[in-house]
Structure 1
Amino acid sequence: MLARQRQEAILRGIEDDGGVRVSDLVERLGVSDMTIRRDIEFLAGKGLVLKVHGGATAVGDHPIDEPGFWVKSAMNPVQKSEIARTAASLIGHGQTIAVSAGTTAYAVAVELRPVKRLTVVTNSPRVAELLYDPVREDQNIVLTGGVRTPSDALAGPVANRMLADVHVDTLILGIHGIDLDAGLTTPNLLEAETNRLLIAAARKVIVVADHTKWGVVGLSTIAPLERVDVLVTDAQLDVEARRLVSDKVGQLIVAKRDDTPGDQADG
């Protein structure tokens, strides 16, 4: 296959799905990983695509737009892993928790698998599938119904009716954007209302968000920062942003690598 044909296939994939992954292209086009990466480099140099970890996405995405789950999962994977380990350490055995959709919340769910006697309510089919284990009798996984969104959340009236009667100890909430004035935001109106109900159901709200979410404002506000009990982020959030957000949330925890304790600041 000629380079021009490969590059056209990459562009078509981005147009159709919002992004492409190197590993998928290697399998589909029958060429090497290095060849695909060179094609993406070429297209990025022409300003036609935006390189992300593990693939490429469309250029000029606006905060009101939302790429698919796997495109977002390839963004800042190291920071998400750090945040996930730290957030999961805040969940004790025997708790009833809710876990929202989103790639960072999914990363937390990965770290929650060893925790015993959990009841987990989630509007993420991926989280439910990850945590469900038919041989474990100490876990109860509850998946809401609803309409599936681009970020692989179940949202809308069906999910909302179910969540209206739910009460959990703690919510792990992934978000699209976090802003001092706009608060927690999402580009998806259906998800906004469902996330509000997740927050209302929880005695404690833990928001997990890497530094790139700071200053991003989506179409709809989910909740003000004051509603956040704990915000777990990564060390690349700048000092001024930490100071500002610490004044709003109950507690700011900056995750560290290699399971070292995170920095904590009370709001």
Structure 2
Amino acid sequence: MLARQRQERILEIIRADGGARVSELIELLGVSDMTVRRDLEVLASRGLVARVHGGATEVAPRSTYEPGFTVKSGLQSEEKRAIARAAAALVEPGSAVAISAGTTTFALARELLAVPDLTVVTNSVPVAQLFHESPRKDVTLVLTGGVRTPSDALVGPVSVAALRTLHTDWLFLGVHGLDAQAGLTTPNLAEADTDRALVSCARRLVVLADSTKWNVVGLSTIAGLDEVDVLVTDDGLDQAACTVLADAVGRLVVTSPDTDEHELGRTPGELS
């Protein structure tokens, strides 16, 4: 296969799935790691894809586009683990926590397996399965029910009705995009309704979003940035974005995938 043919095939894969990991492309195309990375750089230089840690994503995805759980789980994996570790440190034993669907929130759920005596409310099939299969007996698991989306979220009227009578200490929310004007967004209208119900049932809202989510706008707004108590992201976010977010949210936590250290922004009194 010629380089141009190979690059066109890579572009087809990324456009079909919204993104691709280097490891997947190596297996699909039968070429070396260096060849795939070189092809991705060529495509990125032509403005056809966006390079991210571990692979590449579609450029300026449509506001209604929603990649599947498997595709998203392979992107920014180290950043997501660092974000999850920092977010899990907020949770004390005996807490009631709501966890939305998403790959970063799934990473958080793995970290929360070490926190005793939790009540977990979730609309995420993978999160529910993780806790269900855990040998721990001190977790009360509440799965909302609803219609399943490509991101393995349960959404819709059934899910919203289940959440209306619940009250949790924390909500850990994964989002499709963050924007100064649009706020927290998702491409799925039914998921937006369910996420808003999750926000309403929690005392404190923690958003988990890696730096690639900044300036991404989905079809529907879940909440404004000023409604966020804590935003946990990674150090790939530029200084200008950090300044905007630190002024908008209650607390900004910037993590590094290379260390366990994180930097805190301003903190309101109720979260001290």
SS in 2 for 1:259: coil
Q: CA deviation at 1:37?
A: 5.3
- 8 A contact 1:246–1:266 mirrored in 2: no
- 8 A contact 2:123–2:153 mirrored in 1: yes
* Equivalent in the alignment of 1:255: 255
- 8 A contact 2:177–2:218 mirrored in 1: yes
What are the within-5 Å matches in structure 2 for residues 79-228 of structure 1? 79-133=79-133, 135-228=135-228
C-alpha spacing 1:249/1:59, structure 2 compared with 1 (3 Å): closer
SS in 2 for 1:93: coil
- 8 A contact 2:175–2:184 mirrored in 1: yes
Number of residue pairs the alignment of both structures matches: 267
SS in 1 for 2:254: strand
**Aligned equivalents of 2:254, 2:210: Cα separation in 1:** 10
**Aligned equivalents of 2:137, 2:219: Cα separation in 1:** 41
State which drifts further: 169-178 or 180-189.
Answer: 180-189
Q: CA deviation at 1:251?
A: 1.8
Which one-letter code corresponds to 1:99 in the other structure? I
What are the within-5 Å matches in structure 2 for residues 224-243 of structure 1? 224-243=224-243
- 8 A contact 1:86–1:262 mirrored in 2: no
- 1:20-68 per-residue CA deviation (whole Å, 9 max, x = no partner) reads 4444455566666566556656766776655544445445523442222
Percent identity of paired positions between Structure 1 and Structure 2: 57
State which drifts further: 118-127 or 132-141.
Answer: 132-141
State which drifts further: 40-49 or 256-265.
Answer: 40-49
- 8 A contact 2:251–2:264 mirrored in 1: no
Question: Structure 1 residue runs of 4+, over 3 Å off?
Answer: 1-60
C-alpha spacing 1:110/1:162, structure 2 compared with 1 (3 Å): same
**Aligned equivalents of 2:94, 2:189: Cα separation in 1:** 33
**Aligned equivalents of 1:12, 1:245: Cα separation in 2:** 35
* Equivalent in the alignment of 2:266: 265
State which drifts further: 58-67 or 156-165.
Answer: 58-67
Q: CA deviation at 1:209?
A: 1.5
What are the within-5 Å matches in structure 2 for residues 48-87 of structure 1? 51-87=51-87
State which drifts further: 98-107 or 133-142.
Answer: 133-142
**Aligned equivalents of 1:181, 1:18: Cα separation in 2:** 24
* Equivalent in the alignment of 1:245: 245
C-alpha spacing 1:110/1:197, structure 2 compared with 1 (3 Å): same
**Aligned equivalents of 1:181, 1:35: Cα separation in 2:** 40
Q: CA deviation at 1:210?
A: 2.1
**Aligned equivalents of 2:244, 2:105: Cα separation in 1:** 24
Q: CA deviation at 1:262?
A: 2.8
Structure 2 residue ranges without an equivalent (≥5): none
SS in 2 for 1:121: strand
SS in 2 for 1:247: helix
Structure 1 residue ranges without an equivalent (≥5): none
SS in 1 for 2:265: strand
**Aligned equivalents of 1:250, 1:242: Cα separation in 2:** 13
C-alpha spacing 1:157/1:91, structure 2 compared with 1 (3 Å): same
- 8 A contact 1:253–1:265 mirrored in 2: no
State which drifts further: 112-121 or 21-30.
Answer: 21-30
- 8 A contact 2:97–2:121 mirrored in 1: yes
- 8 A contact 1:163–1:201 mirrored in 2: yes
C-alpha spacing 1:70/1:53, structure 2 compared with 1 (3 Å): farther
Normalising by structure 2, we get a TM-score of 0.82
